[in-house]
């Protein structure tokens, strides 16, 4: 039994390292144009000033999702996430993890939609909303406990705006057969936004 548990733990560790390497590789590729342009300080400063207003509107980046739900190994990633979530006791950390997972799922939904996998894209989007709902529940609990939740709430505020943008992009590429489901998920997002706003005001 011990050997089985040890083997499973090693497998999960290797799986984590592989997926983590994919994330780093994707982030490095995404950042390389920025690094090359940052050599010219004058141009960078002018560019920052010119795009200051646009950054205010779009300053939230979704994390790379790694293995997508259409990959046979995705169930291991989902299992890993559930195990991590069970080990978190602090409601703020729990809210942050749920938000991170929600962000990854909505990004995955967009990638799946671009690949023409409409059904899987919409179901993944729905799961993203489930995680966002759990994030709201966790941050509400933290607030009741008297913890400072402003930072995570502000992140959630920016996140839900980004999620709404992604949903709009998904709607443009998936079949109209999913319009009703997307409308339901859009209403959920609007309710999430209201909940976050209410928590920020309290």
pLDDT digits (tens, 9 = 90+) for 62-101: 999 999 999 999 999 999 999 999 999 999 999 999 999 9
Tokens (6 digits) for 56: 């205010």
Greater confidence (135 vs 3) lies with 135
The closest alpha carbon to 130, from 83, 82, 76, belongs to 82
* Domain annotation covers residue 14: yes
Examine the domain organization and report whether 184 and 128 are in the same domain: yes
Structure confidence at residue 58 (pLDDT) = 62
The C-alpha R_g of the chain, in whole angstroms, comes to 19
Structure confidence at residue 59 (pLDDT) = 79
* Domain annotation covers residue 126: yes
* Domain annotation covers residue 64: no
Is the Cβ–Cβ distance between 140 and 200 less than 8 Å? no
Examine the domain organization and report whether 26 and 123 are in the same domain: no
Angle at 107 between CA 105 and CA 111, to 5 degrees: 110
CATH code (residue 86)? 1.20.58
Structure confidence at residue 103 (pLDDT) = 98
Examine the domain organization and report whether 103 and 30 are in the same domain: no
Supply the DSSP symbol for 71: S
Query: Which residues fall within 8 angstroms of residue 141, CB to CB, at 6 or more apart?
Result: 91
Examine the domain organization and report whether 27 and 101 are in the same domain: no
**Separation of alpha carbons 101 and 135, rounded Å:** 10
Examine the domain organization and report whether 3 and 83 are in the same domain: no
Examine the domain organization and report whether 103 and 158 are in the same domain: yes
Give me the chain's average pLDDT, please.
81
What is the tally of structural domains in the chain? Answer: 2
Examine the domain organization and report whether 31 and 126 are in the same domain: no
Tokens (6 digits) for 178: 């999913």
Greater confidence (11 vs 166) lies with 166
Examine the domain organization and report whether 160 and 111 are in the same domain: yes
pLDDT above 90 covers a percentage of the chain that reads 70
pLDDT digits (tens, 9 = 90+) for 90-145: 999 999 999 999 999 999 999 999 999 999 999 999 999 999 999 999 999 999 99
Structure confidence at residue 77 (pLDDT) = 93
Structure confidence at residue 80 (pLDDT) = 95
Supply the DSSP symbol for 49: H
Range of the domain at 136: 74-201
Q: Does pLDDT of 32 surpass 80?
A: no
Examine the domain organization and report whether 94 and 155 are in the same domain: yes
Examine the domain organization and report whether 107 and 18 are in the same domain: no
**Separation of alpha carbons 135 and 67, rounded Å:** 22
Examine the domain organization and report whether 179 and 103 are in the same domain: yes
Average pLDDT over residues 39-46: 42
* Domain annotation covers residue 2: yes
Helix 91-114 / helix 74-87 crossing angle, nearest 10 deg: 160
* Domain annotation covers residue 45: no
* Domain annotation covers residue 27: yes
**Separation of alpha carbons 120 and 32, rounded Å:** 31
N-terminal to C-terminal alpha carbon distance within the chain: 51
Greater confidence (164 vs 39) lies with 164
* Domain annotation covers residue 195: yes
Residue bearing tokens 């443009």: 172
Structure confidence at residue 24 (pLDDT) = 36
* Domain annotation covers residue 131: yes
Examine the domain organization and report whether 121 and 188 are in the same domain: yes
């Amino acid at each position: 039994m011990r050997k089985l548990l040890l083997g499973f733990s090693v497998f999960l560790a290797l799986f984590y390292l592989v997926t983590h390497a994919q994330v780093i590789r994707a982030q490095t590729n995404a950042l390389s144009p920025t690094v090359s342009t940052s050599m010219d300080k004058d141009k960078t400063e002018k560019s920052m000033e010119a795009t200051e207003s646009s950054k205010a509107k779009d300053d939230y980046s979704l994390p790379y999702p790694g293995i997508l739900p259409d990959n046979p190994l995705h169930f291991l990633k989902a299992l890993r996430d559930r195990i991590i979530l069970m080990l978190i006791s602090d409601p703020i950390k729990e809210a942050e993890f749920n938000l991170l997972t929600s962000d990854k799922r909505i990004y995955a939904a967009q990638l799946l939609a671009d690949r023409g996998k409409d059904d899987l894209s919409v179901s993944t989007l729905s799961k993203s909303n489930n995680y966002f709902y759990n994030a709201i529940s966790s941050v509400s609990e933290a607030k009741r406990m008297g913890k400072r939740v402003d930072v995570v709430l502000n992140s959630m505020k920016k996140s839900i705006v980004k999620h709404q943008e992604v949903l709009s992009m998904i709607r443009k590429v998936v079949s109209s057969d999913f319009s009703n489901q997307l409308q339901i998920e859009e209403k959920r997002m609007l309710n999430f936004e209201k909940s976050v706003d209410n928590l920020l005001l309290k």
